[in-house]
Amino acid sequence: MKRHPQTTLFTPARSENRDIQLQLLMVQALFSTLYCTGVISGFIEVRVLPAAVATLTVGGYQLAYAAYVVFVRLREGRIDWVERCLPGAILTCLAFAWVSTGELGSPIWVVLPVFVIAQAGRIPLVRYTYFIPYMFVAVVVATLLIYALSPEAFSWSTAILIWAIAAGVAITAATTLKQLTAADNRARSVAETDALTGVANRRRFFRQLEALATQERNDPYAILMMDMDNFKRLNDTGGHLYGDESLERAAQIAKRCLNEGDLLARYGGEEFVALLYGTDANGAFVVAEQIRAQIASKLPITISVGVATSSQGNDPTAILQLADQQLLLAKRSGKNMVRMRPELGTAA
């Protein structure tokens, strides 16, 4: 029986995330630099605010954003309330730059919808969701502010055209978001599914295990560690294709024994692991024994199972190790059996 090292929750490549953060920073820095330079040089005329106020506001935001990216994001950190506010802060800065000109037809307004479209696929979907409605609201509010601050330069026909364009961009972005979400779900499903057996893979199991570690509620759960007995002999006598077929059938048998919502994963090689939610020790033993008995009666191979429950501790990784220890005892005690700490309940 092969033993596999523990792994942590899968995370995206740090180099890819770093590149995206730097690209976003450079795009915003370019806009801020062009705006501030234009205002200072007089190329961009600000009609409703002093030039110093306009440049300090946009430049100050850019410096704050750059500091957050460099000292927090690029160091793999995050501040939750800042992350929630960033989509609105970015678009608010762009809208402010537009309003400061007091000119409805200023090219600056185009940056808002263009920025939203450009971020599709470049930032987390959760944050991108906020961009779409906020962009449209920012455009509408900005046009009304321009009307209030500079009515002589205002045109309702131009405002309605701008609103129509912003609405079209919002609809397009929403469609893109839907497609990105579907693609992300498909990619996650493929990345977290074992190709041979069709059950979850090791990566998904550890993601669920990590979620258990962070949950506030203390609902009971159990972990079953399972290993096919004498699997190498089955491969040697029947061939690897026959061995693969036996693994697939064993996975389907075990899956049918679980409740909806429980997780079955291929841990590696001929090993499987099951995460049973809302299950105490006796319930876990019944499920484990059912899996063992059905595989023994329907396949030319047997399985050994180790059981551990959340009543043995608060650390899910430690519970997994306890289940693994019980599996080793089952293998050493003759195989084709379920082992569980006797004080937890009925045990073989």
Q: Which residues are catalytic?
A: 270
**Do 177 and 129 touch, CB atoms closer than 8 A?**
yes
Handedness of CA 125, 128, 129, 132 (dihedral sign): negative
- Give the whole-angstrom CA distance, residue 144 versus residue 138: 10
Radius of gyration (Cα) for the chain, nearest Å? Answer: 29
Question: Angle at the Cα of 74 (from 73 to 80), degrees rounded to 5?
Answer: 10
Question: Angle at the Cα of 181 (from 251 to 273), degrees rounded to 5?
Answer: 20
Three-state SS for 94? helix
- Give the whole-angstrom CA distance, residue 287 versus residue 276: 9
**Do 27 and 111 touch, CB atoms closer than 8 A?**
no
Q: How are beta strands 338-340 and 303-309 bridged, if at all? A: parallel
CB burial class (10 A; 0-12, 13-18, 19+) of residue 273? buried
- Give the whole-angstrom CA distance, residue 294 versus residue 117: 54
